[in-house]
Amino acid sequence: MLFRLAVAVALFTATLTAPLAAQAADGCGAEAAPARGATVSAIDRVWSGHAARFALVVTDTRIFVGYYDANRQLSIAARPRDADDWTYHKVDSWLGWDSHNSIAMAVDEAGQLHVVGNLHRDPLVYFRTTGAGDVRTLRREAVMVDAARERRMTYPIFLRDAERRLILKYRDGGSGNGNEIYNVYDAAAARWRPLLQTPLTDGEGKRNAYFMGPVSGPDGRFHIAWVWRDTPMAETNHDLSYARSTDLVHWERSDGRPLALPIRLDAAEIVDPVPVKGGMINNNTVIGFDPAGRVMISYHKFDAAGDTQIHVARRDAKGWTRARVSDWKGFRWDFGGGGSLDSRLVVEGARPVGKDRICVPVIRDGRRIDFLLDAATLERVAELPGQAMAERLAGRVAVPAGMQLNSVEDPGGSGILLAWPTRPPHRDLPSEDIPEPTVLRLLVPR
């Protein structure tokens, strides 16, 4: 499984996001370095032996951070937005060597904090506060909805539906034979129930779907893109697929035709029939939008010469238009095998640049590249050097040799940011030594 935390770029915001705002018309509009005018403070010393996704939740009054401390223990810290004093709480869960074991957090309507994490084909690890906003009241919940189904969980993500209800989605099963499950939180009853009566997709025991999204679009719909994967081996991804929904319950193709659930490969809308070993990988099939609000998917695959190239697909009035964005010579990311990979490429979603340009940001071997496209034709206008997160934070957050900078930004747009160095993923296998812990820092714009 590709792990997107393997590069120094802030990609781990909540999956359910508002449409990206238009950028500056003279380029791809790389964000100003958050170090400028930001207060940087230490939270804790954290595990640095491999990358695993941390969590950041920012409300109107408080900041919550979920992380693995120097002893690998799942830890939660909280503080008021207008004060510097942290409250800490450690729960009974410890990280091994697996980079899949991300942390997901959310605050419900009553102000209670929900924490799910440290899962890779594992039984549910779920904690919920009993006192609003008080992390020291976190208590383990043995069952969320269905104990029988919650035995092999991976990739928990909290998001909100169109009614702003709290949703948890996760994969039930393993790589190559898993299903996507959605639960919804009943705030009045303070309990979870299934949102869907079936899994969203069904690999029929032969494959599973790896999703990016749902992403909230300017059309009021939720959009998802995914690849099908036949085995735990990363090279067996194939068939870029797409669906959309207004409520996360009823799903349809891009032309409005309904999709029966669970979605199977023979009924899915295939955007690009990339074959097994075709150079496409899960998590690098990212939803974005053009200046007219049309949905786009950014991804990569091999060209006829065997080089890796960036591509985009856009849903136009007559169907999907696909276009090659890059023209790289001699660059081939020939990934394969199981376990978390040290990613050579990370693709971000397309974003509008004024009224007639589209930006497709990419991180290649740790360096950011901004592709600027003509919005009418999808032809490349420019290939510009961008600024990756490590460069944006240079001088404010030190990165030891052999390590990478990981970051998580507040999806609410506050500009608040977590940053911490670690070694890259290591195929989920132990290293020969244990590095010194590093410092987890919070950056808050002044």
Q: Which domain holds residue 43?
A: 4-445
Other Cβ atoms less than 10 A from the Cβ of 241: the count is 24
* Predicted confidence (pLDDT) per residue in 155-174, tens digit: 999 999 999 999 999 999 88
pLDDT category, 35, cuts 50, 70, 90? Answer: low
Query: How many distinct structural domains can be found in the chain?
Result: 1
* Predicted confidence (pLDDT) per residue in 278-290, tens digit: 999 999 999 999 9
pLDDT category, 396, cuts 50, 70, 90? Answer: confident
What pLDDT is attached to residue 50?
A: 97
Is the pLDDT assigned to residue 389 strictly greater than 90? no
The sign of the dihedral angle between the CA atoms of 215, 217, 221, 223 is negative
Mean pLDDT (the chain) is 91
Q: How far apart are CA 292 and CA 315, in angstroms?
A: 11
Tokens of 110: 């009553």
Rg (C-alpha) for the chain, rounded Å, is 21
Is the pLDDT assigned to residue 399 strictly greater than 60? yes
* Predicted confidence (pLDDT) per residue in 127-144, tens digit: 999 999 999 999 999 999
What pLDDT is attached to residue 3?
A: 39
- Mean pLDDT, to the nearest integer, of 363-392? 92
Q: How far apart are CA 112 and CA 135, in angstroms?
A: 9
What pLDDT is attached to residue 13?
A: 30
Other Cβ atoms less than 10 A from the Cβ of 258: the count is 9
Return all residues near 355 (Cβ < 8 A) that are at least 6 apart: 291, 375
Percentage of the chain beyond pLDDT 70 is: 92
Check: CB of residue 295 under 8 Å from CB of residue 286. Answer: no
Any idea which of 37-46, 136-145, 371-380 has the lowest mean pLDDT?
37-46
What pLDDT is attached to residue 36?
A: 61
Q: How far is CA 154 from the centre of its chain?
A: 13
* Predicted confidence (pLDDT) per residue in 74-118, tens digit: 999 999 999 999 999 999 999 999 999 999 999 999 999 999 999
Choose among 303, 291, 355, 312: nearest CA to 330. Answer: 303
pTM: 0.90
Please report, for the domain that includes residue 10, its CATH number: 2.130.10
What pLDDT is attached to residue 29?
A: 57
Check: CB of residue 103 under 8 Å from CB of residue 96. Answer: no
Percentage of the chain beyond pLDDT 90 is: 83
Distances (CA, A) of 204 to 195, 265, 348: 21, 9, 30
Q: How far apart are CA 260 and CA 243, in angstroms?
A: 11
* Predicted confidence (pLDDT) per residue in 235-246, tens digit: 999 999 999 999
Check: CB of residue 47 under 8 Å from CB of residue 69. Answer: yes
